[in-house]
Amino acid sequence: MKILEDIKILDFTHVWFGPYCTMMLAELGAEVVKVEPPWGTIGRLGPGELYKGVSTTFYALNINKRDIAMDLKNPKAMNMIKEMVKQSDVVIQNFAPGTMEKLGLGYEELKKLNPKVIYAALSGFGQTGPYSEYASYASIAEAMSGHTYAT
């Protein structure tokens, strides 16, 4: 038995650190369902070698997860997502702050559907503060932290 065996996670993460987080939770036994747009996420393109048109890094970061394609701007898909939220213990996303709220999937909306849901919002510069609206990828975070100067 794994420590998170009975935990259901709805995963709206993309690129690197979000999928890495949910990969670790899946490795600990959580049932992780990754929600992607029908055209896939940018993480499918790299980094890493491509296998059948998809980055091997993407495969590695999404091991032990189930995957579902949903257009979050489609009302039918949104109804299905909301039903999935009702059955989930955790929702994790790493969009820019405010994106999930614009989609009607912010914490306040989700807790109406599932009062026990744990909502994790991951972003490079936090959810509040002077840089919260900035997009963040590894190279940006490295530059802001001084890492690129030091190496």
Q: Per the domain annotation, does 2 fall within a domain? A: no
Domain count, the chain: 1
Rounded distance between C-alpha atoms, residue 42 and residue 80, angstroms: 23
* In-domain check, residue 74: yes
Beta bridge partners of 33: 10, 66
The rounded distance, in Å, linking the Cα atoms of 150 and 145 is 10
- Answer whether residue 51 is part of any domain: yes
Q: Is residue 1 part of a domain?
A: no
13 part of a folded domain: yes
For the beta carbon of residue 118, count every other beta carbon within 10 angstroms: 15
CATH number of the domain that residue 97 is part of: 3.40.50.10540
For residue range 96-133, list pLDDT tens digits in order. Answer: 888 999 999 999 999 999 999 999 999 877 788 888 77
Q: Is residue 16 part of a domain?
A: yes
Residue 3, in any domain of the structure: no
Report phi then psi at 21, rounded to 5.
Answer: -60, -50
Alpha helices in 2-134 (DSSP H): 17-27, 56-61, 75-86, 99-102, 107-113
> Which among 139, 149, 131, 145 is positioned nearest to 17, based on CA atoms?
139
Give me the mean pLDDT over the 7-24 stretch: 95
Rounded Cα–Cα distance for residues 69 and 80 (Å): 11
The domain containing residue 24 runs over which residues?
A: 8-150
User: Could you tell me the pLDDT band of residue 36, with boundaries at 50, 70 and 90?
Assistant: very high
Residue 100 domain-assigned (yes or no): yes
